[in-house]
A = this chain, B = another copy of it.
Amino acid sequence: MSKKTTIYDIAKVLNITAATVSRALNDNPRISEDTKKMVLEVAAQLNYKQNKLALALKSGKSKNVGVVLPIVNRNFFSNVIRGIEEELNPMGYNVIISQTHEDEKKEIVIIQNLLNAQVDGIIMSIARQTKSTEHFKQILKKNIPLIFFDRKKDIKGASSVTLNDYSGAYEATQHLIEQGCTKIAHFTVDRSLEIYENRFEGYKQALLDNGIGFNDSYVLGLESNIDAGREAAKTLMELADPPNALFSASDLAALGAIQYLKDNGIRIPEDFCVVGFSNEPFTQFMELTISSVDQSPLLMGKTAAKVFLEQMDAANVKIEKRVVLSPSLKIRKSSSRLN
């Protein structure tokens, strides 16, 4: 069809040069109002659209930001994306999404690709298994901002926006204790990840601060799904001295546990209290609503985006920034004995 119209096409029509057209289009002061008006007119007539690619090549800024995360179709991550997009789009940035599927190799390839695509920044949450840090350093070496969210690695020059998982876990456990629970179990997922380790530590510290002995057999590592939760609950209840409460680092696992307990005639919250983590939508939809720690993913996304924007403004001034967001405990039926 009709080739794209360039500033040269406009220039030709008006018998002026492309440079002048460019100035007119960019509100350059060194140009007469008259020619400016004419250029704008012809541009409209010819349906001229700036080619961002050319601009990007020239300026070295692509106005694209890469967002890398394990998987998009999970409530937490899709909310983060939403936050990032809402903050960045109005500033003229496009958001490129890539999924690692928790695969370190894929993560490395993706980052290579984004760097080749000349993204202006990378906002990411690392894959579970990622051990290497070489690819992160590559990013920083090219002097482009790297902002981690939720799952991070401590790397000089990289910023991060995380949740205070420790205090979230502490608060949740404290709440269970206040409900009169004395024997509190904990479901963790993968303590080699900082976030889960911190949740564990918060849980443990709350127990100790309240003079409650910490019991190793009450801590179980499992996958984040319903079946795993059911099974783990079974394991717990078959202990010689079973617990009477659970703080789960996963909402789905918490749900599984609740299902198992109910099936076995254990009343919630009368006999057993449960608090989950993530504040997944379904926790509010159940008949027995589930208490959970909210991670404010939307805010996390927005904050990560803002940190990126700051770094862009700061030009060469490379100050790594570490933002820690406060979780908020949503108390629901599964842990509401009093009142």
Q: CB within 8 Å of B: which residues of A? A: 1-2, 4, 49-54, 56-57, 62-64, 71-75, 77-79, 81-82, 85-86, 89, 94-99, 110, 112-118, 141-143, 226, 255, 262, 281-282, 285-288, 298
Shortest Cβ distance from A64 into B: residue? B96
Residue in chain B with minimal CB distance to A290: B285
User: Quick one: copies of this chain in the complex?
Assistant: 2
For A61, give the chain B residue with the smallest CB separation: B53
Contact at A82–B72, with CB atoms within 8 Å?
A: yes
* B-chain residues with CB within 8 Å of residue A282 when the two chains form the complex: 281-282, 285
With A and B bound together, what is the CA distance between A99 and B95 in angstroms? Answer: 10
Q: A85 with B112: in contact, given A4-B142, A78-B78 (CB under 8 Å)?
A: no
How far apart sit A21 and B152, CA to CA, in the bound complex (Å)?
Answer: 38
**A214 CB to nearest chain B CB (Å):** 31
Contact B82 A99 (CB under 8 A): yes
* B142 touching A1, Cβ below 8 Å: yes
Please name all residues of chain B whose beta carbon is closer than 8 Å to the beta carbon of A281 when the two chains form the complex.
Answer: 281-282
Q: Do B52 and A118 have beta carbons less than 8 Å apart? A: yes
Contact: A49 with B112, CB < 8 Å? Answer: yes
